[in-house]
C-alpha cells in the first residue's frame, strides 16, 4: 500500500491518522507539489485531478481524501467503529465528510494555502467561511466529545487537520474553546500522528 502525499497537506494527514489507527503498513511517497510534480503525466495517471493525496492499494488507486477514508474504513475496519453501518449513523458521518470537503476546504484550507503557497484567494471571504465553519464545529462540540457517536470516526478525521491548522491562514482559534478541546482530545489519542503546525494550533 502506497500513500502519495505531502508533509504540509492537511488532506494527506487525514489519511495518515486513519492508517495509524488501523495499523496499516504502507509506504509514503512525497509528491513535490511546489515544483508541480502532481501535474506530471505519471501522477495524473493515478489522479487526473492532479492533487494529493492518492492511495494505491494493489491494483486500486483512490483519490480525494474523504473517499480514501471511506475506502480504508470499510475495507480494513471490520468493527465498523470508524465508519458505522447503521443508515442514520452512516448518513451523519457522511454529512461531516461533505462539510470537510466544502466549508472547511473552501474556508480554513484556502486561507492557509494563501499564506503558505501564495494561492490567490478572496482572503476576507475565505476567512469568513472559515470562521462560520469553526463556529458550527464549536457549537456541535460544546455538546459532545466528538462529532458523532461519542467516539472518533472518520467524521472527526476528515475535519480535524484543516480545522487545527486554521491559524496558518490567520484564522485564530481563541474564540472556539470546544474546537480547541477537541483538537486536544485527538492529539492525545493513541493513533495521533504529529504534523507541523498542529501542535501549536491547540
Beta strand extents in the chain (DSSP E only): 2-5, 27-30, 54-57, 60-63
Those residues whose C-beta lies under 8 Å from the C-beta of residue 187, and which sit 6 or more positions away, are 198, 199, 202
Beta strand extents in 21-111 (DSSP E only): 27-30, 54-57, 60-63
- Convert the pLDDT of each residue in 12-33 to its tens digit: 999 999 999 999 999 999 998 8
What predicted TM-score, i.e. pTM, was given to this entire model?
0.94
Q: Where are the domains of the chain?
A: 2-76, 87-201
- Convert the pLDDT of each residue in 126-135 to its tens digit: 999 999 999 9
pLDDT of the residue at 199: 66
Task: Give backbone dihedrals phi and psi of 60, rounded to 5 degrees, phi first.
Answer: -105, 130
Those residues whose C-beta lies under 8 Å from the C-beta of residue 106, and which sit 6 or more positions away, are 126, 129
CATH of 2-76, one of 3.40.50.2300, 3.40.190.10, 3.40.30.10, 3.40.50.2020: 3.40.30.10
Q: What is the mean pLDDT of residues 104-133?
A: 95
Decide if 2-76 and 87-201 have a common fold.
Answer: no
- Domain 87-201 in CATH 2.30.40.10? The answer is no
Amino acid at each position: 500500500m502506497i500513500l502519495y502525499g505531502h508533509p504540509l497537506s492537511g488532506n494527506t494527514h487525514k489519511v495518515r491518522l486513519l492508517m495509524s489507527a488501523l495499523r496499516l503498513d504502507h509506504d509514503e511517497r512525497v509528491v513535490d507539489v511546489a515544483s508541480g510534480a502532481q501535474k506530471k503525466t505519471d501522477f495524473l495517471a493515478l489522479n487526473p485531478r492532479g492533487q494529493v493525496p492518492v492511495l494505491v492499494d494493489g491494483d486500486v488507486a483512490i483519490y480525494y481524501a474523504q473517499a480514501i477514508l471511506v475506502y480504508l474504513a470499510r475495507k480494513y475496519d471490520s468493527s465498523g467503529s470508524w465508519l458505522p453501518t447503521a443508515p442514520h449513523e452512516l448518513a451523519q458521518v457522511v454529512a461531516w465528510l461533505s462539510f470537510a470537503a466544502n466549508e472547511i476546504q473552501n474556508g480554513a484550507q484556502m486561507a492557509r494555502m494563501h499564506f503558505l503557497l501564495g494561492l490567490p484567494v478572496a482572503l476576507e471571504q475565505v476567512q469568513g467561511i472559515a470562521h462560520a465553519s469553526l463556529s458550527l464545529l464549536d457549537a456541535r462540540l460544546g455538546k459532545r466529545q466528538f462529532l458523532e457517536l461519542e467516539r472518533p470516526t472518520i467524521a472527526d478525521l476528515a475535519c480535524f487537520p484543516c480545522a487545527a491548522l486554521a491559524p496558518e491562514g490567520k484564522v485564530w482559534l481563541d474564540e472556539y474553546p470546544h474546537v480547541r478541546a477537541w483538537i486536544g482530545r485527538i492529539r492525545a489519542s493513541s493513533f495521533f500522528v504529529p504534523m507541523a503546525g498542529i501542535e501549536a494550533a491547540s
